[in-house]
Structure 1
Amino acid sequence: MLLAHPALLADRVREYETLSALDADEGGAAARRRMDDIAYSLCVATGTADVDAAVVAARHRLPGARVHDDSLITAMHRLRR
C-alpha cells in the first residue's frame, strides 16, 4: 500500500478539523463539498472507509506520534522529582 507523505496528512487533518469546528457540513454547498473532498482524501490516504478512523490513522502516521501518548504523565512525573 502506498503511504501518503506526512506533510499531506498533517494538512488534511488540520483542514478537516478546522472545517469540522466551523460546522462546514451545515454550511453552503461549497463548504460541504470541500469537507467531503477532505474526508475522502483522508480515507484514501489511510486505507480506511470511515473519516473518523482516517483521522486517527493519519495522526498515528505523523512525525512524533506515539501509539500511547503519555507525554503529560511523563512531564508531571519529571516535575515531581
Structure 2
Amino acid sequence: MLLPDKSVLASLLRRYRVWERMVLADPHDPAARQRLEDIAYTLCVLMGRRTVQEAIIEAERYLAAGRTVPRTADRPKG
C-alpha cells in the first residue's frame, strides 16, 4: 500500500482536530459539519480505513513510527 507524505498527513490530522472542535462548539452549523466530514473522508481514503477513528489511529501510528531515535551505537561517528 502506498503511504501518504507525513507532512501532508500531519497537516490533515491537525485540520481534522480543529474542525472537530468547531463542530463540538456549534453542532448545528452545517458548513462546519460538512467540512469535518470531508476531512474525515480524506483521512479514511489516505489510510485505507473504513471509519475515521480507525484512520486516525493508523495515521498517528504511522506518524509516530518515524519519530524513533536511533540508539547511540547506531548513530554514525563523526
TM-score greater than 0.5 by the shorter chain: yes
Q: Could you tell me which residue of structure 1 aligns to residue 42 of structure 2? A: 41
* Structure 1 runs, 4 residues or longer, greater than 3 Å off: none
Q: TM-score scaled by structure 2?
A: 0.72
Taking every aligned residue pair, what percent have the same amino acid on both sides? 38
Paired residues in the alignment total 65
Extract unaligned runs of 5+ from structure 2: 69-78
Coordinate RMSD, CA, aligned = 1.9
- 1:28 Cα shift? 1.8
| Distance (whole Å) between structure 2 residues aligned to residue 64 and residue 38 of structure 1 | 24
Q: Could you tell me which residue of structure 2 aligns to residue 64 of structure 1? A: 67
Q: TM-score scaled by structure 1?
A: 0.69
Extract unaligned runs of 5+ from structure 1: 66-81
| Distance (whole Å) between structure 2 residues aligned to residue 52 and residue 26 of structure 1 | 19
Note if 1:29 corresponds to 2:30: yes
- 1:40 Cα shift? 0.3
Higher RCO structure (Cα 8 Å, ≥6 apart): 1
Q: Could you tell me which residue of structure 2 aligns to residue 68 of structure 1? A: none
